[in-house]
Amino acid sequence: QNFGTYGGSQTLDLSTNGARTVILIGGKNGAGKSTLLEAIRLCLYGQFASRSTPTRDKYERYLVERIHRDPSSPVPPRSASVEIDFDYGDQDGIKTYKAVRQWERNVNGGAKEEFLLSCGGSPVADVDSSHWQDFVQELIPIGVSDLFFFDGEKVQHLAKDESRSEERRVGKECRS
C-alpha cells in the first residue's frame, strides 16, 4: 500500500506449485522490479533489510522516503505498508503466517512503525510481540533470503565487475 513507485493497493501472487517452483519478474528499467524485492525484504526484516540504514534515525527517514509520492495527487499519502502471507512447515505441519509492516510519517519528519505477525488469522501468541521480528528472522534468516530474493541487475553488475577484473588480470599477464 503506497510503497515506493506503487501508489494505492497492489497485490502480487508469488505462490508456487509442483510445476512452477521459480518465479522470475521481468520488466524495463524503472518498472519497479527492485522495489518489489525491497518491499519483501523490508516487510520481513525491517531495519535489518538494508545495510544502509544502521541507525534508527536513518531507518525512519528511509521509511518516509518509501511512502509513495504522486505529484498529481491533491493529498499525498502519509502512510505505507507491506504485507506478506507465507507458509512455513515444521514438525507440527504447515502454518500460514502473515507479516505486516506499516508506518506513518510523523510531524517530526520521522516515521512511526508497527510490525504485526499472525498465524492462521490470529496474532502469534506463543512469542511476545516485542520478539516477533526475531522470530521471523529465525524462520527465514536474512542470509537465506539473499539466495531466494535477488535482483538480476545486481547479479549482472557483479558479473561485469568480475569480467573487468579478469580483463585487467589478463592484460597485465600479456604485458609481462
| Tens digits of residue pLDDT in 78-107 | 999 999 999 999 898 999 999 999 999 998
Prediction pTM value? 0.81
At 20, the pLDDT band (50, 70, 90 cuts) reads confident
Strands (E), 124-174: none
The alpha carbon of 3 is separated from its chain's Cα centroid by a whole number of angstroms, namely: 11
The residue type at 3: F
Summary mean pLDDT of the chain: 86
Strands (E), 91-152: 93-105, 111-119, 122-123
Q: Rounded to an integer, what distance in angstroms lies between the CA atom of residue 35 and that of residue 54?
A: 20
| Tens digits of residue pLDDT in 121-159 | 999 999 999 999 999 999 999 888 777 776 666 667 767
Neighbouring CB atoms inside 10 A of 8's CB total 9
